[in-house]
Structure 1
Amino acid sequence: MELRVLRYFLAVAQEESISGAAEYLHLTQPTLSRQLMDLEQEIGKKLFLRGKRKVTLTEEGILLRKRATEILELLEKTERELHAENSVSGDIYIGGGETDAMRLIAQVARQMQQEHPRTRYHLYSGNADDVTERLDKGLLDFGVLIEPANIQKYEYLKLPAVDTWGVLMRSDSPLAAQEAVHPEDLWDLPLLISRQSLAKESLSKWLRRDLESLNIVATYNLVYNASLLVEEGLGYALCLDKLVNTTGSSRLCFRPLTPRLEVGMDIVWKKYPVFSKAAERFLHHLQQTFC
């Protein structure tokens, strides 16, 4: 399977049209069609459903699109690392969930930028499962994980920060009159809850209820979109503090849970990593700052 053909495949998947992809790639349509048929024959699976107006991916095609994207991202990352000069320069890839603790990472990045101005940072947002998957595949150098998280297979530093769980709600909600939210306050309310599985265990323990028994009207990955649903009156979002602006003219407010529920943060990286000079120097800055 050639990298060139994977790029052709991704172009067709993006354009949803062989003729459109051929124009984008500066190929003739018959040439591109032949390359795609050869790819399907090599894999032994049908990758496209060819309709009158557009082509769509089969289940196998969707899987290949995901893997091909990861392969090409890793290739581009490796090429940049190999072409980097001997001085400390290059790209650093950091993933993490939504947490105010990312400010600590930003502060280290700023310090390093002052010392090594030819470094660049690439941020990826996702929950723990998303981040560790990309970390394991070499697409990220570092991951910031919200506890509890499975960090046994990684090297890590504990960040000097905690985040507080609470409820994001409309300012005109009855619960907004309270200083904090008790478990029983939420048992019958429509809730929006993060999809991060490990976080759900701690919330279930705090709520003293199986989450499946609650009125969960939506799940979310990143809280900004969840905040829009809250603002429109869909329900109450269980989330961490300081992620959504609730000051000034905001129609939203945040109330912490009581008993208080806090979580720590870790920055992790693979054991026996193959770091670029920039990532290696960034780790040195992290260790100096947080050890």
Structure 2
Amino acid sequence: MKRADELIEGTVTIGCGEFTVVETLAQICKSFKEKYPLVQIAIHTATADSVYEMMEKGLVDIGLYMEPVDTEGLEYIRIPDSDHWVVSMCPDDPLAEKEYVGKQDLLDKPLIIPERIGVQSELANWFGKDFDKIQISFTSNLGTNAGIMVANGLGYQVSIEGAAKYWREDLLVQRRLYPPITVNTVIAWRRNIPNSQAVNKFIEEINACQAYDSI
């Protein structure tokens, strides 16, 4: 006979961006699916603002957000320093020979930066007084299409590493910014609402991973 847990059914809907911490999410999902194989997991890839809006409407059960994000009304765990800012470029670009990329390297380059204003503020702090001098050629709400622009010689993508690290190195390479910018990510769910049994079990899995230092 099957254990009662194995008979739990339903869907857990997750909204997230293109983050390195999605690798942690995959570990959580793997452990969860081993216990609850009948539960389907639906993943929606979107910006933090879109995921937040979907969560407010009850369309998403679990959200992954890159800070800064409004956590009012949410239960969450924070994963500190879970991503780094990088510059993506073609592998034959002179900047690819450098170990790190500084702001002076970028002032005369066409840049592709994130569309989200809160995230642009992180870049503004890094560039300091030179932010007004940068050439913003494109903005993009997610990294994949921005990477295609880079591969076609249209600019340098400045983004978090998770948005770029899975490109083939013969197409794009990444170099971290220096001084470095690290990013905190949160895994969140709405506070004080009735969830399905499947969602409650998934939240338990998130907390269990945190308790055992898997995150």
**Structure 2 length-normalised TM:** 0.89
Q: Secondary structure at the match of 1:239?
A: strand
**Structure-1 residue corresponding to 2:193:** 273
**Structure-1 residue corresponding to 2:140:** 220
Partners of 2:184 and 2:80 lie apart in 1 by 8
**Structure-1 residue corresponding to 2:61:** 141
Which amino acid is the alignment partner of residue 240 of structure 1? I
Q: Is the 8 A contact 1:108 1:286 kept in 2?
A: yes
| 1:119-168 deviation line (CA, Å, top 9, x unaligned) | 00111111111000000000000100012222233111113661010100
Moved over 2 A (4+): 209-214, 242-248
Partners of 1:172 and 1:113 lie apart in 2 by 42
Partners of 1:165 and 1:148 lie apart in 2 by 15
Q: Does 2:72 correspond to 1:152?
A: yes
More helix by share: 1
**Structure-1 residue corresponding to 2:3:** none
Which amino acid is the alignment partner of residue 127 of structure 2? L
- Stretch moving more, 125-134 or 143-152: 143-152
Match of 1:107 among 27, 33, 43: 27
Counting only pairs closer than 5 Å after superposition, residues 46-65 of structure 1 correspond to structure 2 as: none
**Structure-1 residue corresponding to 2:113:** 193
Q: Secondary structure at the match of 1:259?
A: coil
**Structure-1 residue corresponding to 2:95:** 175
Q: Which runs of 5+ in 2 are unaligned?
A: 1-5
Partners of 1:160 and 1:92 lie apart in 2 by 25
Partners of 1:159 and 1:243 lie apart in 2 by 17
| 1:18-40 deviation line (CA, Å, top 9, x unaligned) | xxxxxxxxxxxxxxxxxxxxxxx
The alpha-carbon deviation at position 210 of structure 1 amounts to 6.7
Aligned length: 206
Q: Is the 8 A contact 2:18 2:162 kept in 1?
A: no
**Structure-1 residue corresponding to 2:179:** 259
Match of 2:14 among 91, 94, 101: 94
Report the RMSD for the aligned CA atoms in angstroms. 2.0
Q: Secondary structure at the match of 2:178?
A: coil
Counting only pairs closer than 5 Å after superposition, residues 8-19 of structure 1 correspond to structure 2 as: none
Which amino acid is the alignment partner of residue 149 of structure 2? L
Q: Is the 8 A contact 2:76 2:186 kept in 1?
A: yes
Q: Secondary structure at the match of 1:193?
A: strand
- The change in CA–CA distance for 1:104 and 1:149 in structure 2 (over 3 A counts) is same
The alpha-carbon deviation at position 87 of structure 1 amounts to 4.4
Partners of 2:11 and 2:28 lie apart in 1 by 15
**Structure-1 residue corresponding to 2:161:** 241
**Structure-2 residue corresponding to 1:127:** 47
Q: Which has the higher contact order (CA 8 A, sep 6+)?
A: 2
Select the structure of larger CA radius of gyration: 1
- Stretch moving more, 206-215 or 165-174: 206-215
Q: Is the 8 A contact 1:159 1:290 kept in 2?
A: no
- The change in CA–CA distance for 1:232 and 1:209 in structure 2 (over 3 A counts) is farther
Q: Which runs of 5+ in 1 are unaligned?
A: 1-85
**Structure-2 residue corresponding to 1:208:** 128
